[in-house]
Structure 1
């Protein structure tokens, strides 16, 4: 199976569409509408620490972590990669790891920045705090789970005794629990972070343009996610690393997670073998 990049222009078109919609909206309702707070009955109120807390959290939860999710779910096999002849491309893993660790560090910095300074007492602020702390706890669980996921194994990273045994290669209970927890918790954490962002925007009575820009950005993420899912890009991690041959034990068990795609094992294996014989 060979993936091409012929559809990559769709991503650029999506962002251009968003920019065009924003331009038309500004021309239709006027710039003043966008600069008006969400609740026009009260002023936009935010101090230095809260403003930088918000900026850092937006970078973490609306840019870095969603990008890490897209990389991990849809780019285990990248466009142009001659899979299954070329397997275990680490690009997705490096990007996922970089996005998640960078996001975690920035999120902690954002909390440290605001913690001594702002404790608003409104009900909206209380919900924002509850969601925020819950999201941070889940983020910590994600980091800890990743560090405890077990060994890889397989022909490319054998055990110390020379065998191919590994938690991932053999899909041990430890690995199975990790995959169920890591995937489900990751999506739940992202959705909760967006809810926390909404309550934060309302608490400080942010200008309307902020809510609009974030909404367009989140919509672009959702559309991109659904587009990639529809086109079968959510490939099984196990198969992307070791190929579709049923000799590998993980190919004989059900893939973990909803919407995960596996190739027709025999056809892909024979296709790779035939190309090598040419």
Structure 2
């Protein structure tokens, strides 16, 4: 009895729903397969796309009858680029590109974009269209030349439908009868929509890891190698090696995070290009360090190969650091455009302050290092005799290493005391 009652309760849900058949229609088939697709705002239009190195293939399908379907790139209809597909009375379908400068029909301007693989189909009033266009238009001086698609940034997509369209003489009756309420942020690389917050968190972690590597660890390793070579043992070398390898490891983790969040690795933006050069240079450092020429014996003269390698190693490391810092700034700029400009601006100023502090510390340490080398050179070149020091020589000694100065002055005082004692003894003997 319980099973029979359960069957009657679930029976309506097991039946096919026929009520939707009067409202939904089968979309016209697309001529090609696309890697990504999303339902736009209000789920009345499906947006498809596939990326290549220099172009994007896109398609749009409506879910209801209309005489034209428009897809626009922008936050709102004003100042957006649009692709409109419409059917004439005899059933022929057309696709054209437009620049919309306002909210009335006179503000819709036809453009001459370089569109290929243009397909337009209308079946039972359901329109679908396809176009392929370059990511960066190969033209200058025209409004459509600014219609650049950056796959690393979210693309704001809007849509509209209407009852009538024409190639010329647009009027108010050509305005839309239905449109999206808000733009849909579509992430072309990852194939996602409405994931801006999640992707923003991933990219924020990526940026933090990159700052730790290129703002702390790599500069710290360079400072250790530059200013601690006079320390006892191989402390400077171990510290330098540990910090550089740690920076590389964290950099690779950050790159993997960005690739996973964006759905792949692409080289469209300046941020990625600067970062790639910096990483390649950083990776080359431990490789060339493995093949470095043998260091000469203590006190020996370095070979030409060793000297050339040392200069190449130092220059490569510092150039890599410069590219990495530029990558940090371009990354913050990219983050601000795609997600939160206010936070990005604050972080940029914070990065500027951090770099100024770091440069000040490096300059101070460089100044102290030059002083230390000057003192050592003056001390090693000095040729003096105990008890025959004038005032200028005493000043030079006071500028030398503190411990050595104390020992030298102590020896001078001891010698003077001995000389004074001998003089007193000699005087006593003469008086006797």
TM value normalised by structure 1: 0.58
TM-superposed CA distance for 1:268, in Å, is 7.7
Q: Which residue of 1 aligns with 2:366?
A: 229
Q: Which residue of 2 aligns with 1:149?
A: 292
Correspondence 1:128 to 2:271: yes
Higher helix share: 1
Instruction: Point out where structure 1 has 5 or more consecutive residues left out of the alignment.
Output: 1-42, 79-87, 156-163, 237-259
TM-superposed CA distance for 1:196, in Å, is 0.7
**In 2, Cα distance between equivalents of 1:185 and 1:234:** 27
Q: Which residue of 2 aligns with 1:171?
A: 302
**In 2, Cα distance between equivalents of 1:69 and 1:173:** 23
TM-superposed CA distance for 1:153, in Å, is 4.7
Name which of 51, 59, 84 aligns with 2:204. Answer: 51
Change (3 A) 1:122 1:93: closer
Contact 1:75 1:92 in 2 (8 A): yes
**In 1, Cα distance between equivalents of 2:319 and 2:279:** 12
Q: Which residue of 1 aligns with 2:244?
A: 100
**In 1, Cα distance between equivalents of 2:363 and 2:323:** 19
Q: Which residue of 1 aligns with 2:329?
A: 198
**In 2, Cα distance between equivalents of 1:102 and 1:211:** 24
Cα deviation code 1:100-135 (max 9, x no counterpart): 111111111111222243279999x61001001100
Contact 1:235 1:261 in 2 (8 A): yes
TM-superposed CA distance for 1:138, in Å, is 0.4
TM-superposed CA distance for 1:232, in Å, is 2.9
**In 1, Cα distance between equivalents of 2:211 and 2:282:** 15
Matches within 5 A, 1:1-150: 46-78=199-231, 88-118=232-262, 126-150=269-293
- Tell me which of the two structures has the higher relative contact order, counting C-alpha pairs closer than 8 angstroms and 6 or more residues apart: 1
TM-superposed CA distance for 1:212, in Å, is 2.1
TM-superposed CA distance for 1:172, in Å, is 2.0
TM-superposed CA distance for 1:144, in Å, is 1.0
Instruction: Point out where structure 2 has 5 or more consecutive residues left out of the alignment.
Output: 1-184, 186-195, 385-399, 412-432
Cα deviation code 1:135-166 (max 9, x no counterpart): 011001111111111333525xxxxxxxx9xx
Contact 2:209 2:250 in 1 (8 A): yes
Aligned residues: 190
Contact 2:259 2:265 in 1 (8 A): no
The structure with more radius of gyration: 2
**In 1, Cα distance between equivalents of 2:252 and 2:376:** 37
Contact 1:50 1:114 in 2 (8 A): yes
Contact 1:128 1:200 in 2 (8 A): yes
TM-superposed CA distance for 1:61, in Å, is 0.2
CA RMSD of aligned residues (A): 3.6
Q: Residue 77 of structure 1 aligns to a residue in which SS?
A: coil
TM value normalised by structure 2: 0.38
Q: Residue 262 of structure 2 aligns to a residue in which SS?
A: coil
TM-superposed CA distance for 1:77, in Å, is 2.5
Contact 2:295 2:306 in 1 (8 A): no
Higher strand share: 2
Contact 1:60 1:104 in 2 (8 A): yes
Structure 1 residue runs of 4 or more that deviate by more than 6 Å after TM superposition: 119-123, 268-272
